Amino acid sequence: MNAGFFPHLRLLRTTPFRLALLYLGLFVVSVSVILLILYSTTAGFLEEEIGETIAVEVAGLQDQYRNNGLRGLVDAVRDRSAAPHTNSIYLLTTPGGVVLAGNLTGWPDVKPGEGGWSHFKVSDYGGTMDRPSTAMAVTFTLPGQFRLLVGRDMSELDQLRGRLMASLRWVFAVTIVLGFGGGLLIARGAMRRIEAINRTTRQIMAGDLTGRVPRAGGGDEIDRLAVNLNAMLDQIERLMTGMRQVTESVAHDLRTPLSRLRARVELALIRDTDDPEVYRAVLQDTITEADRLLATFTALLSIAEAESGAKRTDLEPVDLTEVVRLAADLYEPVAEEKGQTLSTEIRGTATVRGNEQLLAQAVSNLLDNAVKYTPEGGHITLLLEGAGPGRAARVTVADSGSGIPVEMREKVLERFVRLDTARASPGNGLGLSLVDAVARLHGAHLVLEDNEPGLRISLVFPPDTAQEQAGSQKVGTFAAPLG
Amino acid sequence: MLMKVLVIEDDQQAASYLQKGLKEAGHVVDLAYDGKDGLFLAGSEHYDVMVVDRMLPGRDGLSLVEILRATGNDTPVLFLSALGSVDDRVKGLKAGGDDYLTKPFAFSELLARIEVLVRRRSAAQPQTKLAVADLELDLLSRTVKRSGKVIDLLPREFALLEYLMRNAGSVVTRTMMLENVWDYHFDPQTNVIDVHIARLRQKIDKDFPAPLIHTVRGAGYSLRAPE
C-alpha cells in the first residue's frame, strides 16, 4: 500500500497506533470478563432472593392446605392476593381451569423451566407495577387436579438489570476511551524515544559521526539499546579514524618510493648516453623498487585480510607445534648466517582454531624482526608453551637486540611505524602490524616485554581459542635441536 | 623446450604482455579475451599449458576449468588472479587448476611455473630415485650421494634438494620453493631461500668441480647437469 495515496492510513501503520490497539484489545477483554462476572453474580443473587421469598409463601400455603384443606387454601390465596401493592402472584384453579382464587385472570401459557421455575409475562394483576412485567413462579398440581401457582413479579429485578446493563455500557465505553488513549500515550512515549534514535542515525548517515543517541537513564530495554548503539558508534568512529590514519600513512609511505622511482627513470631518460648497460641498470633498480612497493601492498592486504572479521569463519584447527617448527626451520640458517644462535624450545603442544598461513606469517615476521635487530653473536629464542594460567598457548620470540623502549611498545604495532634505530635496516614498518592483526583475528594478544637486553614478544592465545584435543597435553621441557 | 600456450585473459594489455613475453621465451601463444572463446579454443586445439585469469567476462575462469576437467581435458592450468588470499587459492586448485599465481607477478615467475607444470606432466610416473649428473637422491632410504660419496642432509635440505631435482633443468623461483617445500603461501620479508640454497650448495657443490645449482638472475635457481 502506498502511503502517498492513502495518507490517512499512515496512522494505522504506525507502531504506537498498533500498540495502542493491542493494549486496548487486552483492556477491553479483561474489563468485559470482570463486568460479566459482576453482572451474573448480582443478577443471580437477586433471582435467588426472589426464589426464597416464593418458597416461604409456598410453605405458608402448604400449612393452610394441610390444616384446613382446599377451603383453607382458597381462603388464604384470596386473602393474600387481596393485599394491596403486593408483588406476589397467586392462582388456584379447578381441574377445568376455572379460577378459584388469585390475582391472575387465567393460567399462563408456560412450561416449568430450569429448577421448576416458570417465567412468563403478566399484564395487570393488581400489583405494584401498573404495566406488563415478567414474573417468576412455581406451580403445583394438588390432589383432585386442582392447580396452584405461586410467583412473584420480577419487574424490580428487571429494572435493576436494566440499570446495571446501562452502567456497564458506560463503564465499557469509558474503558475503551481510556484504554485506547492510555495505550496511545504509553506507546507514543516509547516511540518518541525510538524516533530520537532514528533522528540520530539519520544524522550519522548524513555524515556526522559525532552524533550519539540520547539516554533516558532508566536502564530499560530502550536505554540499553541506546547504550549499545552508542558503543557501536564509538567503535565505528574509532575504526574510521584508524582507517583515515592508515590511508594517510599509506599515501605518505607509498609516495616516497614512488617519487624515488619516478626520479630515477626520469634521470635515466634525460641522461645523454648510448650505453645500454646504464639503462639496464636503471631498469633493474626500477624493478627492485617496484617489487618493494608491491611487497608493501601485499603486506597491507594481508593485514586487511587478517583484520576483516569475515575470515573468522574459515578458522580451522592449527597445530602450533608445526607452525613453530617450520618457522624455526626456515630461519635457523638465516640467524646462523648473521652469526646469531636461534634456539627453539617446544614445551607442550597446543592446537588453536586459526588460519595456518596467517599464523605462520606472524611467527615468521617475529623471527624476521629478531634476526634483523639482533647484533652478531646475539641469541634468539623461539618458545612454544602449551596451556597455562589464562592462556591456551603462548609463542614467544626473545632476542638480545636493542629492544623497544616502553613508550614505543604500543606505537610499533601501528602501520608504517618504525623505530629510529631501525631506519637503517630494510623493512616497511608493517611486520608487527600484521602480527598484531593476526593475533586479534585469533582472539589472541601481543605482549611486548623487556628481555634485558632485547625484546621479548609473545603471542598469547586465551583459553577459549584452544581446539580441544584428547591427549594433547604432553607437558615437559625439551629443546628441539634444529639445524 | 617449445610449448604451445593458451592465454585466457580479458585485460588486453596484460594479455599482449603475456603473449610478447612468452613468444620471446620461444613459445607459441594463442590468446582468448573471454571465457567463451577460451573454452572453444581449449576444446578445439591441443595446448601444453593454459594460463587462465580467474575473473573473466562471460564465463569465469573457475567454471571454465571445471568444464574442461569434466570433459576429460587435463591440460595443465595456471590460474592468474588479483585475489590472493589462501581461500581463493584453494578454490582455484579445487576447480582443477594446477598452480595459482597472484597478480601482480614477475614474468619470470610465470615462465618458471608453466615450464615446471609442463615438465611435470611429461614425467608423471612415480620415481623412487632421482638423478642429475653424478648426484643421486634415493627417496626410499632418504640418502643423497654425489659421485658415490654420501652427503648428509637435514630433513628440510633433503626436501629442498628433492624439489630442485624433480624440476631439474627448469627454473624454480623462491616463491615456488617456499610454497612447495615449506607450504608458505606468502613471501617472508627476508630472502630466506637464498640462505637455504647457500647451505645446500655448501654440501652439494662445494667439494666438486662442476656446480649443479645455478642462480638464474632475476628469477631464482635451477639445478641442472653441467653441459
CATH number at B205 reads 1.10.10.10
Cα B211 to Cα A217: distance, rounded to the nearest angstrom: 80
- Mean of the per-residue pLDDT values of chain B: 90
Residues B177 and B157 in one domain: yes
- Residue A368 and residue B87: Cβ atoms within 8 Å? no
Nearest to A251 by CA among A416, A412, A414: A416
Higher pLDDT, A7 or A321: A321
What DSSP assignment string belongs to A221-284?
HHHHHHHHHHHHHHHHHHHHHHHHHHHHHHHHHHHHHHHHHHHHHHHHHHS----HHHHHHHHH
The answer to whether residues B80 and B53 touch, using CB atoms and an 8 Å cutoff, is yes
Task: Check if B187 contacts A (Cβ < 8 Å).
Answer: yes
Task: Check if B40 contacts A (Cβ < 8 Å).
Answer: no
Higher pLDDT, A123 or A28: A28
Residue type, B37: D
Residues B94 and B58 in one domain: yes
Give the three cell numbers for residue B150: 654420501
CB contacts < 8 A, A to B, total 61
pLDDT of B215 above 90: yes
Cα A211 to Cα A214: distance, rounded to the nearest angstrom: 9
pLDDT digits (tens, 9 = 90+) for A163-188: 888 888 888 888 888 888 887 787 77
Lowest mean pLDDT among A207-221, A362-376, B146-160: A207-221
Nearest to B194 by CA among B211, B212, B216: B216
Candidates A340, A364, A397, partner chain B, best to mutate (most B CBs within 10 A): A364
Nearest to B39 by CA among B71, B4, B2, B83: B71
- Map out the domains of chain A as residue ranges: 15-159, 237-305, 312-420+428-465
Nearest to A154 by CA among A78, A48, A41, A35: A48
CA of A412, closest CA in chain B: separation in Å?
17
Pairing relationship of beta strands A445-450 and A393-399 according to DSSP bridges: unpaired
Nearest to A301 among B84, B86, B156 (CB): B84
10 Å CB burial of residue A260 (0-12, 13-18, 19+) is middle
Residues B99 and B151 in one domain: no
Residue of A nearest to B195 (CA): A334
Nearest to A83 by CA among A70, A101, A108, A67: A101
Percent of chain B with pLDDT strictly greater than 70: 98
Residue of B nearest to A285 (CA): B218
Task: Check if B152 contacts A (Cβ < 8 Å).
Answer: no
Query: Could you give the angle at which helices B12-24 and B107-122 cross, rounded to 10 degrees?
Result: 60
Residue B198 banded pLDDT, cuts 50, 70, 90 = very high
- The pLDDT, as a whole number, for residue A409 is 85
pLDDT of A286 above 70: yes
Cα B40 to Cα B46: distance, rounded to the nearest angstrom: 11
Nearest to B185 among A287, A357, A427 (CB): A357
Residue A306 banded pLDDT, cuts 50, 70, 90 = confident
pLDDT of A191 above 90: no
Lowest mean pLDDT among A155-169, A178-192, A337-351, A416-430: A416-430
Residues B116 and B179 in one domain: no
10 Å CB burial of residue A24 (0-12, 13-18, 19+) is buried
Where does A206-220 have alpha helices with state H? none
CA dihedral A76, A79, A80, A81 (to 10 degrees): 120
Residue A170: in which H helix or E strand, if any? helix A155-205
pLDDT digits (tens, 9 = 90+) for B84-94: 677 788 888 89
- Residue B188 and residue A368: Cβ atoms within 8 Å? yes
Q: Which residues contact B56 (CB under 8 A, 6 or more apart)?
A: B8, B9, B10, B34, B35, B38, B64
Strongest mean pLDDT among A137-141, A249-253, A406-410, A459-463: A459-463
Residue B196 banded pLDDT, cuts 50, 70, 90 = very high
- The pLDDT, as a whole number, for residue B146 is 94
Give the three cell numbers for residue A105: 385472570
- The pLDDT, as a whole number, for residue A481 is 41
Last residue of a domain, one of B98, B122, B146: B122
pLDDT of A483 above 60: no
Residues B98 and B191 in one domain: no
Q: What is the mean pLDDT of residues A214-240?
A: 83
Distance, CA of A152 to chain centre: 65
pLDDT of A12 above 70: no
- Residue B196 and residue A333: Cβ atoms within 8 Å? yes
Q: Which residues of A touch B (CB under 8 A)?
A: 284, 287, 291, 294-295, 298, 301-302, 305, 311, 314, 326, 329-331, 333-334, 337, 355, 357-358, 360-361, 364-365, 368, 371-372, 426-427, 431, 483
- Residue A298 and residue B85: Cβ atoms within 8 Å? no
Nearest to B190 among A302, A368, A483 (CB): A368
- Residue A326 and residue B189: Cβ atoms within 8 Å? no
The answer to whether residues B27 and B2 touch, using CB atoms and an 8 Å cutoff, is yes
Paired with A388 in beta bridges are A391
Nearest to A329 among B85, B156, B190 (CB): B156
Nearest to A337 among B106, B195, B218 (CB): B195
Q: Please tell me whether residue A133 adopts helix, strand or coil conformation.
A: strand
Residue of A nearest to B217 (CA): A284
Higher pLDDT, B163 or B91: B163
Q: Give chain B positions within 8 Å (CB) of A326.
A: 182-184
Q: Give chain A positions within 8 Å (CB) of B182.
A: 326, 329-330
Distance, CA of A122 to chain centre: 67
Residue of B nearest to A432 (CA): B189
Task: Check if B31 contacts A (Cβ < 8 Å).
Answer: no
CA of A210, closest CA in chain B: separation in Å?
35
Give the three cell numbers for residue A61: 400455603
Percent of chain A with pLDDT strictly greater than 70: 89
pLDDT of A453 above 80: yes
User: A214 — phi, psi (to 5°)?
Assistant: -70, 150
Nearest to B184 among A360, A431, A483 (CB): A360
Cα B178 to Cα B195: distance, rounded to the nearest angstrom: 13
- The pLDDT, as a whole number, for residue A442 is 87
Nearest to A330 among B84, B106, B182 (CB): B182
Q: What is the mean pLDDT of residues A103-115?
A: 76
Residue B89 sits in which domain range? 4-122
Nearest to A297 by CA among B56, B102, B14: B102
pLDDT of B183 above 80: yes
Query: Could you give the angle at which helices A276-307 and A356-373 cross, rounded to 10 degrees?
Result: 120
Q: What number of other Cβ atoms are within 10 A of residue B71's Cβ?
A: 10
Cα A236 to Cα A223: distance, rounded to the nearest angstrom: 20
Half-sphere exposure of B208 (CA within 13 A, CB side): 20
Residues B78 and B141 in one domain: no
- Domain of B50, CATH number, reads 3.40.50.2300
- The pLDDT, as a whole number, for residue A336 is 92
Lowest mean pLDDT among A9-23, A197-211, A341-355, B148-162: A9-23
Residue type, B49: V
Residues B99 and B21 in one domain: yes
- The pLDDT, as a whole number, for residue A11 is 61
What DSSP assignment string belongs to B33-85?
SSHHHHHHHHHHS--SEEEEESS-SSS-HHHHHHHHHHTT----EEEEES--S
Q: Give chain A positions within 8 Å (CB) of B197.
A: none
Q: Give chain A positions within 8 Å (CB) of B190.
A: 334, 368, 371-372
Nearest to A314 among B87, B184, B188 (CB): B87
Higher pLDDT, A325 or A402: A325
CA of B196, closest CA in chain A: separation in Å?
7
Strongest mean pLDDT among A7-16, A25-34, A121-130: A25-34
Residue of B nearest to A481 (CA): B154
User: A216 — phi, psi (to 5°)?
Assistant: -85, -25
Number of domains in chain B: 2
- The pLDDT, as a whole number, for residue A290 is 87
Q: Please tell me whether residue A479 adopts helix, strand or coil conformation.
A: strand
Cα A428 to Cα A302: distance, rounded to the nearest angstrom: 14
Work out the angle at residue A187's Cα, subtended by the Cα atoms of residues A184 and A193, and round it to the nearest 5 degrees.
135
Q: What is the mean pLDDT of residues A99-109?
A: 80
Residues B141 and B39 in one domain: no
Nearest to A340 by CA among A383, A364, A382, A376: A376
- The pLDDT, as a whole number, for residue A278 is 86
Candidates B81, B83, B85, B157, partner chain A, best to mutate (most A CBs within 10 A): B85
Eight-state DSSP code of residue A375: P
Last residue of a domain, one of B122, B142, B161: B122
Lowest mean pLDDT among A47-61, B67-81, B116-130, B153-167: B116-130
Q: What is the mean pLDDT of residues A188-217?
A: 82
Residues B70 and B55 in one domain: yes
pLDDT digits (tens, 9 = 90+) for A356-404: 888 999 999 999 999 998 999 999 999 999 888 888 899 999 999 888 8
User: B131 — phi, psi (to 5°)?
Assistant: -145, 135
Residue type, A292: R
Residues B19 and B103 in one domain: yes
Q: Which residues contact A438 (CB under 8 A, 6 or more apart)?
A: A306, A355, A358, A359, A361, A362
- The pLDDT, as a whole number, for residue A1 is 43
Percent of chain B with pLDDT strictly greater than 90: 65
Residue A131 banded pLDDT, cuts 50, 70, 90 = low
Residues B164 and B98 in one domain: no
Nearest to A331 among B87, B106, B192 (CB): B192
Candidates B87, B93, B189, B201, partner chain A, best to mutate (most A CBs within 10 A): B189
- Residue B196 and residue A331: Cβ atoms within 8 Å? no
Numbers of helices and strands, H then E, in chain B: 8, 12
Between the two ends of chain B, the Cα-to-Cα distance in Å is 16
Nearest to A157 by CA among A196, A199, A129, A197: A129
User: B45 — phi, psi (to 5°)?
Assistant: -130, 165
pLDDT of A472 above 50: no
Q: Give chain A positions within 8 Å (CB) of B196.
A: 330, 333
- The pLDDT, as a whole number, for residue A471 is 39
Q: What is the CATH number of domain A312-420+428-465?
A: 3.30.565.10
- The pLDDT, as a whole number, for residue B158 is 95
Strongest mean pLDDT among A141-150, A307-316, A407-416, B51-60: B51-60
pLDDT digits (tens, 9 = 90+) for B39-57: 999 989 999 999 999 988 8
Residue B19 banded pLDDT, cuts 50, 70, 90 = very high
Residue A196 banded pLDDT, cuts 50, 70, 90 = confident
- The pLDDT, as a whole number, for residue A130 is 56
Task: Kindly report the CATH class assigned to A15-159.
Answer: alpha beta
Residue A478 banded pLDDT, cuts 50, 70, 90 = very low
Q: What is the mean pLDDT of residues A145-159?
A: 82
- Residue B189 and residue A333: Cβ atoms within 8 Å? no
pLDDT digits (tens, 9 = 90+) for A356-366: 888 999 999 99
Hey, which residues 58-117 in chain B have their CB within 8 Å of chain A? 84-87, 104, 106
Higher pLDDT, B16 or B190: B16
- Mean of the per-residue pLDDT values of chain A: 81
Q: Which fold is adopted by the domain A237-305? A: Helix Hairpins (1.10.287)
Cα A107 to Cα A125: distance, rounded to the nearest angstrom: 12
Nearest to A401 by CA among A359, A451, A447: A451
Nearest to B96 by CA among B63, B56, B47: B63
Q: What is the mean pLDDT of residues B62-85?
A: 89
- Residue B87 and residue A311: Cβ atoms within 8 Å? yes
Q: What number of other Cβ atoms are within 10 A of residue A242's Cβ?
A: 13
pLDDT of B165 above 80: yes
Residue of A nearest to B156 (CA): A329
Residues B83 and B184 in one domain: no
Last residue of a domain, one of B122, B142, B160: B122
Nearest to B105 by CA among A265, A303, A364, A298: A298
Nearest to A62 by CA among A70, A284, A356: A70
- Residue B195 and residue A368: Cβ atoms within 8 Å? no
Q: Please tell me whether residue B217 adopts helix, strand or coil conformation.
A: coil
- The pLDDT, as a whole number, for residue A127 is 54
- The pLDDT, as a whole number, for residue A470 is 38
- The pLDDT, as a whole number, for residue A344 is 94
Nearest to A151 by CA among A83, A58, A283: A58
